[in-house]
A = this chain, B = another copy of it.
Amino acid sequence: MFKKVIVAEDLGDINLAIEQTLKDLDIVNFQHAKYCDDAFLKIRKAIQDNEPYDLLISDLSFKKDHREVKIANGDELIQKVREIQPNIKIIAYSIEDKSLRIKSLFDNSEIDAFVLKGRNSIEELKKAIHIISTSDQTFISPEVASALQEKSNYEIDDTDIKILKYLSDGTSQDEIIEIFKTSDIKPNSKSAVEKRLSKLKDFFKANNTVHLVSITKDMGII
């Protein structure tokens, strides 16, 4: 079982519940961080002190408030923690149920478990902790398990997402092309952007651009 745990979670209520859960599991050496930045600093310090954490439980979305932060969400935190401590076990604990995001966490950040916050998620969290503490298996909440089976969206790259973001931001296609040209992004011709848009519409089964942006927003891609 884990000896030293850190929880990154902004909601006070949920921190309370996680605290209780960890106590139930006889884990007494744990700390909270209500901001990603704080969590990262603590993890880095623990490494330097040669007393690293062996488990990170992290939420994905964090409320913005007056405080200025470097790491704005759990995805980034997880990514950065993986870099400085590759062997730490990571549980993402979130209400997020968009399959693309979940899949990306397993694929890109190699999280060990994804627990979906819900009516009985405390039990699931316990289960996840058990499984990943005793083996190298991964755990995922059954409601979203299908996310991992999704056929990979290899067709969508960074430029596509950039285009989608600009579009949802009110930029016209012509303006996007201009921006791409001035900032030296590779495909920057009118027809190249049009072709990509056409592919995206095809991929997401969107009738038109408005629909496309609406769908990708819903999916949490942009």
**A residues touching B (Cβ–Cβ < 8 Å)?**
10-14, 16-18, 20, 34, 63, 65, 95, 117-122, 143, 167-172, 206-211, 213-214, 217
Contacts and interface: CB of A to CB of B under 8 A. Distances in A.
Contact of A118 (B12, B171, B172): B12
B13 A122 contact: yes
Contact of A13 (B13, B207, B208, B214): B13
A120 B20 CA distance: 18
Contacts of A208: 170, 172
Contacts of A167: 210
25 contacts: A11-B117, A11-B118, A11-B119, A11-B121, A12-B17, A12-B118, A12-B119, A12-B120, A12-B122, A13-B14, A13-B17, A16-B16, A16-B17, A34-B119, A63-B118, A65-B118, A65-B143, A169-B211, A169-B214, A170-B207, A170-B210, A170-B211, A170-B214, A210-B213, A213-B214
A160 to B, nearest CB: 15
Contacts of A63: 95, 118-119
A208 B18 CA distance: 45
Contacts of A170: 206-208, 210-211, 214
A20 B14 CA distance: 12
B13 A117 contact: yes
A202 to B, nearest CB: 13
Given A17-B17, A172-B208, A210-B210, 19 more contacts: A11-B95, A12-B119, A12-B120, A12-B121, A13-B13, A13-B14, A13-B16, A13-B18, A13-B117, A13-B122, A63-B118, A63-B119, A65-B119, A168-B210, A168-B211, A169-B211, A171-B207, A213-B213, A217-B217
B20 A16 contact: yes
A171 B206 CA distance: 10
A92 to B, nearest CB: 15
